[in-house]
Amino acid sequence: MAMTEQEILAGIGKIINEITGIPAAEVTPEKSFVDDLDIDSLSMVEIAVAAQDEFGVEIPDDQLKNLKTVKDVIAFIQG
């Protein structure tokens, strides 16, 4: 069964917390990775790798740069 947006958001929040130390509660759909969460390009790669393990969806590097907000990643994972 497909995961809900809330379930994916919770999963992404946990991943971002583990990689960057940012509290999961701060990871909300509207947040921009670079401008709001101050996450750099290498941490984005780590997040993409962890997201692949968690959700089984590969996020290639050429797609990664188009994913600006948490919402963008949720949409990508939902397909």
Packing angle of the helix pair 5-20, 70-78 (nearest 10 deg): 120
Q: How far is the CB of 44 from another protein (least distance, A)?
A: 7
Please choose, out of 5-13, 22-30, 46-54, 71-79, the segment that lies near another protein by the rule CB under 8 A: 46-54
The minimum distance between CB 3 and another protein, in angstroms, equals 23
Query: Quick one: 7 or 61, whose CB is closer to another protein?
Result: 61
Q: How far apart are CA 31 and CA 72, in angstroms?
A: 10
Should residue 49 be labelled a site residue for another protein when binding is judged by CB under 8 A?
A: yes
